[in-house]
Every structure is written in C-alpha cells, then in structure tokens.
Amino acid sequence: MAPLIRVIGSLNADMVSVTPRFPDPGETITASSYFTSAGGKGANQAVACGRLSRAKPTATSPSTEKDPVRVEMVGAVGGLDGQFQALLKPTLEKSGVDVSRVRTIHNAYTGVAVIIVDTSAGGENRIFFSPGANYTGMQPIPEILGAGLAAPVPDVIVMQGEIPVETVIGILRNIKAWKEENRAKGQKGIEAGPEVVLNPAPAPPGGLPDDVYDGGVDHLILNETEAELMIPPTEQLLRTVPDAEGQSDREKVARYFHKIGVTYIIITLGAKGVWYSAADSGSSGPADGVTRFTNEIPASKVEKVVDTTAAGDTFVGAYCVEVARWRERRRAAGKAGQDLSIEERVERYQKMMDNTMKWATKASARCVERQGAMGSIPFEDEI
C-alpha cells in the first residue's frame, strides 16, 4: 500500500482584486481585474503533496501513476456558501487529494482571503483573512483532536497555523502520547507512529509550549520570520541552550529546537534557498547515536521570478512527499541496513536530506516562475 500523507489545516477561497493602487480610507476605486481561486495553507500544501507525487493528468491519460502517494485533507468549510463545491473540491480532487475528511459547518462561511494586488507597487499585496469555518469547525473538540491518528494511521501528518492554535497543540499532544505508549510497548522507528511535519505559518505569537515538540514534532519547517517568532527571547533561550551563546541566528534556532526534541529543522531562505540542521532525537531521527549535521542548499535557478506566492507551501509539499517515500523505502528494507556503522548511517542520512532539499527547492522554483498561488504548484513530471 502506498504511503499516506494527512494534511490538517485551512481551506480558503482567495478573492483577488488587482488595482492600480490601494484605496485611501473611505475611498472606492474600481479594480482592473478580479478572480477567485482555491487557497489556504492547508489546502495548498495538500495540493502540493498530491501534485508532487503524480504526473500531470492529460485528456488521454487521466492518471499515470498506478499507486501514487495517498494524500488526505482534514479541515472544515462553510455551508453558507458554495465555495467548497465550486472551487476547492474540484481543484483538490484533480490534484489527487482525498477530501472525504473535510467537514461542512452548516452555519458558517468558508474561510476567505480578500487579496488586493497593487500593480503600481510591483504587485505588492494586502491580505485580509477571515477564518470562518477554519476556526468554528476546527475547535479542539475530541473528534478534531483525534483526526491525526484516525484509522488508517498516516505515515506523515502535516499542520500549519491557520486553524486554532489550541487545536494544533491538542493534536500534537495526542500524537506524542500515542507514540510514547507505542515505544513503551517496544515499537521502534516507523512502527512507533507517523512523522509529524509542522509549518507554523502564520507563527502563533510567542510560539508553542515546549512540551509539544518532543515526540510531537519531528520536522519543523520555518521561513526566517517564523523562525524568529517561534523562539523565546534570547535570555530565556540561552537558559535552555547555553552553548548557543555567540552563535548565528539560525544556529540558535536549530540548537533550541533540537534541545526540546525536534529532529529536523529546516529554515527556508527565499531566493537564497534553504538551510537545515538534522540531529538524532530518538526513533524517528536520522538514526540512534547519529550526531548532528547541517547544510545550506542554494535556491534552484529560475528563468524569471513571476510570483513567489505559495513557494513555501510547494516546498513543504515536496518535502512531505519525500518523507513519505523514505518511510516506504524503510518499510520495504525491513531489517536491511540496521548493521551499518554510525559513520555510514550519517553519510546515508545526509545524502537523503541533501537530495530532499534539492528536490524541494526545484519544485518551489517552478512555482515562482508562474502567476498565482495554488494554480502555480507544479506536478511531479514538471520538475
């Protein structure tokens, strides 16, 4: 059975008005164009996972993959509008995403991002996000908190910050408790539970409580702004990781999150590329006993930067597809490779991480060459 990725997050309708300038207070100006599109960080990342594990369907060949990575979306939409049926469902399904776990909240609206693009300011935008069902339908009730581990338990769980932070925390604590129980029963490595990828965008002010990370988050993907917002003030940070004194910002971030239990910390650097730090942190880490390794991978070459929206979501999707495939390979290998020396395992994991970063930077480079958000996310055969 192909590996399963479950994305738990937001679904939005993006309403985009393109204008020659932003209106002043009290002023009405006529937009030069308007369009709607499917959006939301959750839905974008689900679409990225779906597309980046499939070839683009064509009229003669609707699906070219026999057993591609399975992708599920968990989220909530409103019943007071037709946005899900008209906009989100068709796009998600055409990208290979199973939407049967998306709930409809009858007395709510689907989340909306009203986006104004100012053509005189080089396409700069202003965004007004109304969460709607992403909040009312994703409150931390037992059904939602159990969504991560609902059968069949996925290989990879992905979350972002556009649903209530209490829900994100509750889901992470449930996963952590479940994995701890499994480990106590002697289950190790991929048997102990899913890999959790957290992309805290937007970053919750003050970050998340420290206890959710160890066993709750295996992979943390942040851009530079989010990295800054997710760590405590320096004085407090240095109490947790005194050896980060005098280190660069990214080193501080990595040392801090490794210390509180995260195995992979990935900081995306926009046009500069990406930096990562990987460390041993138990069974889901590179390998028991492995020391830490870091690397910076430059951004992939771009013909012309057209629109960087959704570059981060494309990166996350590409990364998650690779994590799902690592697990598939590990499952297929069984006990093979377990007798490697620590040096051999480090070399193997470093190669795997570098290849994953190169693939994810290539995928996000294709996205920035195209106009739009969800529509600009490429399929696997377009990389």
Ligand X SMILES: Nc1ncnc2c1ncn2[C@@H]1O[C@H](COP(=O)(O)OP(=O)(O)OP(=O)(O)O)[C@@H](O)[C@H]1O
Annotated binding site for ATP: which residue ranges? 223, 268-273, 312-313
Closest contact distance (angstroms) between CB of 303 and ligand X is: 10
**Residue 220 phi, psi dihedral angles, 5° rounding:** -120, 120
For ligand X, give the closer residue by CB, 85 or 248: 248
Q: Tell me, what DSSP letter sits at residue 231?
A: S
Closest contact distance (angstroms) between CB of 332 and ligand X is: 29
Closest contact distance (angstroms) between CB of 56 and ligand X is: 20
Q: Output the known binding site for substrate.
A: 12-14, 40-44, 162, 313
Give, for 43, the enclosing helix (H) or strand (E).
helix 41-51
* 60, 61, 300, 319, 374 from 274: Cα distances, Å: 38, 35, 10, 12, 21
Query: What is the layout of strands, in order, in the sheet containing 33-39?
Result: 33-39, 12-19, 111-118, 124-130
Q: Output the known binding site.
A: 12-14, 40-44, 162, 223, 268-273, 307, 309, 312-313, 367, 370, 372, 376
* 3-state SS assignment for residue 10: coil
Closest contact distance (angstroms) between CB of 313 and ligand X is: 5
For ligand X, give the closer residue by CB, 202 or 337: 202
What string of DSSP letters covers 85-150? IIIIHHHHHHTTEEEEEEEEETTSPPEEEEEEEEGGGTTEEEEEEE-THHHHTTSS-HHHHTTTTP
* 3-state SS assignment for residue 198: strand
For ligand X, give the closer residue by CB, 47 or 274: 274
Reading the block at residue 237, the tokens are: 């940070």
Q: Output the known binding site for K(+).
A: 307, 309, 367, 370, 372, 376
Distance in angstroms between the alpha carbons of the first and the last residue of the chain = 25
Closest contact distance (angstroms) between CB of 127 and ligand X is: 11
Half-sphere exposure of 292 (CA within 13 A, CB side): 17
Of 313, 339, 354, 381, which residue is the catalytic one? Answer: 313
Residue nearest to ligand X (CB): 312
183-189: Cβ within 8 A, 24+ apart: 183/283, 188/283, 189/283, 189/284, 189/330
For ligand X, give the closer residue by CB, 147 or 201: 201
For ligand X, give the closer residue by CB, 92 or 310: 310
State the residues that interact with ligand X by CB under 6 A. 201, 223, 268-271, 273-274, 299, 302, 305, 308-313, 315, 361, 364-365, 368
Let me know if 313 is a catalytic residue.
Answer: yes
Reading the block at residue 274, the tokens are: 């990406």
For ligand X, give the closer residue by CB, 272 or 351: 272
Residues 6+ apart with CB under 8 A from 94: 57
Q: From CA 23, how far away is CA 293, in angstroms rounded?
A: 49
Closest contact distance (angstroms) between CB of 259 and ligand X is: 24
* Cβ pair 181, 155 in contact under 8 A: no
Give the catalytic positions in this structure: 313
